[in-house]
């Protein structure tokens, strides 16, 4: 296939940035989207030009580093798929593909398609932890947990923190991410000691980072590569209000 890539180029956070067009030929339908960028970058390097900066790590759909906004959708057109698992058979010969970084004030552009997502780390640091007694590991069946609660906690813990929810939201809200991290602990007895402060601390940090508010459009759930449910947002709101009464 022959494709036209319209890629956002930006030197740093102070640079205004602009789109640049690249023609890429001999694209195999079996390539992943990141392999396409590998081929393009190799050509740019051979031509003595600056390669396109983008994030990646595992390339197995686990880490969430491959954050790209592709033709107006976070991670591209396939549902519940990260960019690294998106393959070029999703496109046709002659297509034009527009690739941008996440657009959010809380995710400043470092360079080209790479953004600073450390705001998520600071939200986790604010309350995404549990009390741990040192010593030997506790037996797995020492604390009985109902299967329904365990399943919901596992589903919330599937969040990889990629930021697609923020990129998809018209308000750049981080409510889906934050609520998933609150839920995975609130649903389990191990998370109860910090329960009264966790939601308050994490929501306060989220607001401090400059993320927008949630207006329940559901775009975050629709674009999440792991299918995190917006029911977690309702749970976090309950945790937040309950913490306000108890504190």
How many Å is the maximal CA-CA distance in the chain? 64
Q: What CATH class does 118-246 carry?
A: mainly alpha
Scan for tokens 């797995």, then name that residue. Answer: 140
Give the pLDDT score at 141.
78
User: Can you tell me the distance from the alpha carbon of 14 to that of 36, in angstroms, rounded to the nearest whole number?
Assistant: 28
Region 3-110: CATH code: 3.10.20.30
- pLDDT tens digits for range 107-161: 999 999 999 999 999 999 999 998 877 778 777 778 889 999 999 999 999 999 9
* DSSP codes, 117-168: -HHHHHHHHHH-------SSPPPTTSS---HHHHHHHHHHHT-----HHHHH
Q: Where are the domains of the chain?
A: 3-110, 118-246
Tell me which residue of 190, 181, 197 sits closest to 247, measured CA to CA: 197
What is the distance of C-alpha 155 from the center of its chain? 15
* DSSP codes, 45-107: HHTT-PPPP---S-SSSSS-----EETTEET-SSTT--GGG-BGGGS-TT-EEEEE----TTS
Give the pLDDT score at 247.
63
- pLDDT tens digits for range 184-205: 999 999 898 898 899 999 999 9
* Matching fold, domains 3-110 and 118-246: no
Give the pLDDT score at 206.
97
What is the rounded average pLDDT for all residues in the chain?
A: 94
Mean per-residue pLDDT, 32-45: 97
Instruction: Please state whether beta strands 3-9 and 96-100 pair in parallel, antiparallel, or not at all (unpaired).
Output: parallel
Give the pLDDT score at 226.
97
């Amino acid at each position: 296939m022959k494709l036209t890539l319209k890629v956002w180029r930006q030197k740093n956070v102070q640079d205004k940035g602009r789109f640049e067009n690249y023609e890429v030929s001999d694209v195999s339908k079996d390539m992943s989207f990141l392999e396409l960028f590998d081929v393009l970058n190799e050509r740019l390097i051979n031509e003595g030009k600056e390669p396109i900066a983008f994030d990646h790590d595992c390339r197995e759909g686990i880490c969430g580093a491959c954050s790209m906004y592709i033709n107006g959708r976070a991670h591209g057109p396939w549902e519940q798929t990260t960019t690294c698992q998106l393959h070029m058979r999703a496109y046709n010969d002659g297509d034009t593909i527009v690739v941008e970084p996440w657009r959010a004030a809380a995710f400043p552009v470092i360079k080209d398609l790479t953004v600073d997502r450390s705001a998520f780390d600071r939200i986790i640091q604010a309350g995404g932890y549990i009390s741990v007694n040192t010593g030997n590991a506790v037996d797995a069946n020492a604390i009985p947990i109902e299967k329904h609660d365990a399943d919901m906690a596992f589903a919330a813990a599937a969040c990889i923190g990629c930021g697609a929810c923020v990129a998809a939201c018209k308000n750049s809200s981080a409510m889906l991410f934050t609520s998933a991290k609150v839920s995975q602990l609130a649903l389990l007895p191990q998370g109860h000691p910090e329960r009264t402060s966790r939601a308050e601390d994490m929501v306060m940090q989220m607001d401090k980072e400059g993320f927008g508010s949630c207006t329940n459009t559901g775009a975050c759930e629709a674009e999440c590569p792991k299918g995190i449910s917006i029911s977690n947002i309702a749970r976090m709101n309950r945790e937040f209000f309950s913490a306000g009464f108890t504190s």
